[in-house]
Structure 1
Amino acid sequence: MLLTPYRETLALPKIRSLLVVATLARIPIAAATVVLTLHVVTDLGRGYGAAGLIGAAATIGGSVGAPVMGRLIDRRGLRPVLVLTTVAEVIYWLVAQSLPYWLLLPVAAIGGFLALPAFSVARQSIAALTPESHRLPAFALDSITTEMSFMAGPALGVLIATTAGPRVAMISLAVGILLAGLGLWLLNPPIRAAHEAPVTSSERVPRRSWLKPRFIAILAVTMAATLVLSGTDVAVVAVLRESDQVAWTGAVLSLWALFSLIGGFVYGTVRRGVPALALFAPMALLTVPVGLGGDHWWLLALLLIPAGALCAPTITASSDAISRMIPAAARGEAMGLHNSALTVGVALGGPLAGLAIDTQGPAWGFVAVGAVGILVALLVLPAELRRRRDTPEPPAADTTPSSTPGTISPQDAAPGGSPGSPPHPDPSPNPTDRSVTV
């Protein structure tokens, strides 16, 4: 019974091939940061601060470029954008290895802007390929495979860079990106469902129709979630180094990733989605005391279990919510903004934790990122409470299961659907529709 939602989801047309291709396509993207860092430090002879600036430039470019590429997909279709970004990024990685530092800095920003949108394309295609009743396990699978890509990508990048050299690793990234873009182009996953209007260049959806406080609140929660995650990465290293247990860093981080995978897997089996805010708030709160286990690596790993188990579910819930509230014609841009929120959070978390560690001590890295997460949750909470207050409660009869198989409840028959359902619901009957909240 536990695996039933996943079996049903993987049986849907093109879902399995999409997840496989997307997972492989994300591996070179996940390796990019560590390869670029090793290139700056080893080949260019610069410090880690200079490498961080290059990474920041690429991050800023990617954050700006993701929604732009998403809007182009909405307007022009997927394949033209895949050709543009694949060619541009292959050229970037082939050229970047020979550039001096002062020129690599702006080029990295351009490369980030024109990066292959493998992450947002996968989520946009999942929303198009799955009915709402199977969307949550589909996004859970996407989150799990993303974790796998980030476990494999950096390790493979370090292996190539340390054995053959960073420049060879950069050429390997160019080859990997070319294969990733080609794979997505050949697969050509749909970005609109069968019942949704096809892509047209003249189609325009005003941003004011979907760029509303509720959507912004989900982006804020998404950004804060990855801020907590990246800050926790840095804090784990600092705490274990302080206690002279740095050799256990890989084991602790691997266990933490495993907790997230398990949490995401379990979350994908629930029948009704949990609001992203309800998942993220305890995740941030439970991150604060993790530093108390710094004296023993195994205790640190145990303290990471509760917060770690909520990582993947939080990202899954945010992707699911966005897919339901955004009209199909703007889904690419919305998923691009979601990807930007993920990226910005990752970029901010490390420096924030590092500042707290340098000034107060290793354990304060967890406190700093957890406290910022709690603050964001408190800022978003009024918007969620206002949404709940403004949304009429369904009749009491609709909250109990139907006693007769095949009977459609009044809530299912109503045009508005359940509270939080998207303005353009799937026209097919969906008795297992989940509520969607921030």
Structure 2
Amino acid sequence: MHLAPFRQVLMLPRVRPLALLMFFARMPPAATGVVLTLHVAVTLGQGYGAAGLVGAAGTIGMGLGSPLMGRLIDERGLRPVLAVSVTASAAFWLGAPLMGYWTLLVTSFLVGLLGVPMMPIGRQVITALVPESRRRVALSVDSISVELSFMAGPALGVFVATKFSTNAALMFIGFTILAAGVLLYRVNPPTVHQDEVLDGPKPRLVEWMRGRLFGVLVVCVGATVCLAGMEVAAVASLERIGMQSWLGVVFFAMCAASIVGGLVYGSLRRVPSVLVLLVLLAALEIPVGLGDGNVLLLCVLLVPMNLMCAPLIAASGEHISRLAPPAARGLALGLQGSAFTVGKAIGAPIAGVAIDSGGASAGFAVAGVTGLVVAGVAWALARHRKPVASRVTMAS
């Protein structure tokens, strides 16, 4: 594994401080799910089903809002979007301790719709800071940063919620989102690379949303179908044997494997296609159920499939940034965020039904098989290789 490409990318102007800023900016969103669940289920005493509804409302809002915010970034720039979304997000999280359940349910959807799309923003910024020849390595760095955020964010949120209160955790998320948003507003990183000169009117969606790009978005759906199913099945496996306290260890193993995969992927000269990565991710999930009931074996079997996670996120982002015109890149990456959200919404209930019928091993198997089916759909779409209409010239 060669780390020289990573060092070269991180030495480019503004890349290292922006990567560090996005790591901290993504930690609060990573903690929102677990903190909201604890607040609704425990503090408000509404139970986990009600907590799931609040989470689902926010997820639906994010799925609808991510392309909207991406398009506004393309048309208005980053700062106006941050001004609206940071204000809405901070207001929600700082006011959440005062809200009753039904108010929380409605406003969760609204903040998902208008909230800060930190994941797509990070990918768009990193593509704007590096030349296209180094975009794969840069997006690998970004995907590793996402994994680190998901390792640290939920753990910090749970610590504040359990050490103090869920109200304190909600307000902590609000203040950190506000701080990160203000810093990002002040830095105002570019969203289009300096060598990409936009010429003429904005391209219409029908001009660039073709078979290959649509196929990549379907791959993104398949990826989160597998990952969401994996998480639900892992929780069910540990709960069956009364080992819920080991969840942190299992999720740490998942994230660590993904980080290693991202490092390997970014150092390779020739890489597998995004479709191959999805097939490997899905196929390697099917046998994970053999570790049901054994924490150590479960961790070991989860490693191979999670090695594909960060590479798949990086590869899909690279394809989308190349296939979509720069003038519509925010919208395209926003659609990628929506695709991830749709996959999560599909994968969790599919695995849950399978678990109810056949246990955790069935959950892993069904999620993996569903991922393979989605990969077949993506392959069929990718065969339509119509050229992408792009009004872009390269500056000398």
Same fold (TM over 0.5): yes
1:96 is displaced (CA, Å) by 2.3
Normalising by the residue count of structure 1, what TM-score does the alignment of the two structures yield?
0.86
Question: Which residue of 1 is the match for residue 226 of structure 2?
Answer: 228
Where does 1:91-106 land on structure 2 (aligned, <5 Å)?
Answer: 91-106=91-106
Structure 1, residues 44-71: CA drift from partner, whole Å, max 9, x if none? 2101011000000001111111110111
Equivalent AA in structure 2 for residue 236 of structure 1 = A
Question: Which residue of 2 is the match for residue 300 of structure 1?
Answer: 298
Where does 1:276-315 land on structure 2 (aligned, <5 Å)?
Answer: 276-315=274-313
Where does 1:144-159 land on structure 2 (aligned, <5 Å)?
Answer: 144-159=144-159
Q: For the residues of structure 1 that align with 2:320 and 2:141, how far apart are their CA atoms?
A: 16
1:94 is displaced (CA, Å) by 2.0
Q: For the residues of structure 2 that align with 1:194 and 1:311, how far apart are their CA atoms?
A: 30
Question: Which residue of 2 is the match for residue 402 of structure 1?
Answer: none
Q: Does 1:321 align with 2:319?
A: yes
Question: Which residue of 1 is the match for residue 41 of structure 2?
Answer: 41
Q: For the residues of structure 1 that align with 2:262 and 2:393, how far apart are their CA atoms?
A: 25
In angstroms, what is the RMSD of aligned CA positions?
2.1
Structure 1, residues 337-395: CA drift from partner, whole Å, max 9, x if none? 111112222233222211111122121110111011011011122233454xx8xxxxx
Equivalent AA in structure 2 for residue 320 of structure 1 = E
Where does 1:15-414 land on structure 2 (aligned, <5 Å)?
Answer: 15-197=15-197, 203-387=201-385
Q: Does the 8 Å CA contact 2:198/2:393 hold for their aligned counterparts? A: no
Structure 1, residues 257-288: CA drift from partner, whole Å, max 9, x if none? 21111011100011234311011111101101
1:25 is displaced (CA, Å) by 0.3
Equivalent AA in structure 2 for residue 276 of structure 1 = V
Change (3 A) 1:97 1:377: same
SS at match of 2:253: helix
Q: For the residues of structure 2 that align with 1:157 and 1:251, how far apart are their CA atoms?
A: 16
Is the helix fraction higher in 1 or 2? 2
Change (3 A) 1:206 1:425: closer
Normalising by the residue count of structure 2, what TM-score does the alignment of the two structures yield?
0.95
Change (3 A) 1:69 1:340: same
Q: Does the 8 Å CA contact 1:192/1:198 hold for their aligned counterparts? A: no
Consecutive unaligned residues of structure 1, counting only runs of 5 or more, are: 391-419, 430-438
SS at match of 1:197: strand
Consecutive unaligned residues of structure 2, counting only runs of 5 or more, are: none
Q: For the residues of structure 1 that align with 2:89 and 2:361, how far apart are their CA atoms?
A: 39
Change (3 A) 1:422 1:13: farther
SS at match of 2:196: coil
SS at match of 1:268: helix
1:75 is displaced (CA, Å) by 0.4
Change (3 A) 1:75 1:100: same
1:226 is displaced (CA, Å) by 1.4
More moved, 300-309 vs 357-366: 300-309
Equivalent AA in structure 2 for residue 221 of structure 1 = V
Change (3 A) 1:52 1:246: closer
Q: Does the 8 Å CA contact 1:273/1:317 hold for their aligned counterparts? A: no
Q: For the residues of structure 2 that align with 1:374 and 1:296, how far apart are their CA atoms?
A: 26
SS at match of 1:363: helix
Q: What is the aligned residue count?
A: 396
1:224 is displaced (CA, Å) by 1.3
Larger radius of gyration: 1
More moved, 127-136 vs 70-79: 127-136
1:9 is displaced (CA, Å) by 0.6
1:151 is displaced (CA, Å) by 0.7
Change (3 A) 1:177 1:244: closer
Identity of aligned residues (%): 44
SS at match of 2:251: helix
Change (3 A) 1:169 1:246: closer
Q: Does the 8 Å CA contact 2:211/2:384 hold for their aligned counterparts? A: no
Q: For the residues of structure 2 that align with 1:425 and 1:2, how far apart are their CA atoms?
A: 33
Q: For the residues of structure 1 that align with 2:324 and 2:141, how far apart are their CA atoms?
A: 21
Q: Does the 8 Å CA contact 1:136/1:273 hold for their aligned counterparts? A: no
Q: Does the 8 Å CA contact 1:131/1:426 hold for their aligned counterparts? A: no
Q: Does the 8 Å CA contact 2:60/2:109 hold for their aligned counterparts? A: yes
